Structure formats: structure tokens, C-alpha cells
Amino acid sequence: MWSVLAPFALTALLLAMVPGQGTAMLLRQAMTGGVRSVLLSALGTCAGLLIWASASAIGLSAIFVASPLAYNALRWAGALYLAFLSIQTLIELRKRRPHFTVDSQGGRAGFLAFRLGLTTNLLNVKAAVFSVAFIPQFVPHGFPIVRGILTLGLVQAAVSFLWAAFLGTSISRATEMLASERARKILTLVSAIGFLILSLSLLIARQGLTSS
């Protein structure tokens, strides 16, 4: 099992680095909540990854790949959620200061940051597909499949958290350096447009795996 951890960790890192829903979510959190908000959202993402890994271990997540109805339901839910985030982010343009800060609002804001990361990941069809199509392939022959999938799920969660922490912290620091109201509004608009593009791409995407 040890021999596959490094190749899998590299694969998980490359997957995490691909721009997508998670990246757009981190960009939003970095601008509206700062470093702590980013880290809590990253923890939520990790929780989502572990849920998908657990679902894969018991065969549940395979339903979302094998069933066109379940797959499309998840895809549409993800698209609608991203559209909601786009609208919510655009509302930030009318405010002079971010309204969602962990430091200023304490526990509730922290919970919202965690929930955002969790929900974004659970409604990400790519996370479901990866847990079904790729994670089991890395489990060595003869190794207990459930334990192998859960172990690799933990590795993926750890790698994803480290990347999210690095990326989100970098964005947050850059945002602090560009602290002008104009710069904040531009970055907020970019984030909102990113959510909208991702939402539209999910709505018009064809169901590649289930139709092949």
C-alpha cells in the first residue's frame, strides 16, 4: 500500500490544482473572509472528500456514475448552487466591506465557511466521479478494498487541504495588499463571473461517463 501513496498523492494534487468550483470558492472566501475563512472552507472541502471516499468504499457513490438520473440530479444541483453563489457574491459589490468574516462574526461565520466548503464539494460531480473511477484503481491487488479506499481518501483530503490552504492564503494576502475598494470590487466581480461560468458549464455539459 505504501508504494501507491506517492503516485496517488501527486494525482490528488494535480486534481486539486485544476481550476474549478473549489478554486472559485476559495477565491470568494479569501476576499470576503480572510485566511481563517479559507482554512475553515478547506476543512469543509476535506470533509466532503471523506464523505465521497466513504460512499465509494460502500459502493454508494457508484450510483451517481451508473445512473443517468442520479448523475444529472447532482449536476443540476451543483449548477444551481454555483448560480446562487454567483448572485450572493455580486451582492458584495454593493458593500464597502466584506460581510462574511470569521474574525468579526465568530462561531457562526466559521460554521458558514465550513458549510460552504462542504456543500460545494458534495455538489461537485467531479468529486463523485474521482471517488468511483480513480481511487479504487490505486488500491493494490489483494489489499482490503474498503480500507484501501478510505486510506487514499484521507490522503486526498490532506493533500487538498494543504493546496487549498496555500492557494487561499496567497490570495488573501494579495487581496490585503490590494486593499483599495476598487480592487476589491474587481476581484469580487471576477469571482462572481467565475461561479456563473462554472454553473453554465455544468448545465450544458453532456454526461460523458454514463453515455460512453
95: helix, coil or strand? coil
- Select the more confidently predicted residue: 177 or 80: 80
pLDDT digits (tens, 9 = 90+) for 187-207: 667 767 877 887 787 677 654
pLDDT digits (tens, 9 = 90+) for 18-35: 777 788 888 878 877 778
How many Cβ atoms from other residues are within 10 Å of residue 1's Cβ?
A: 13
pLDDT digits (tens, 9 = 90+) for 127-178: 877 887 778 888 888 888 889 999 999 999 999 999 988 988 888 777 666 5
Count CA within 13 A, CB hemisphere, residue 5: 11
Count CA within 13 A, CB hemisphere, residue 193: 6
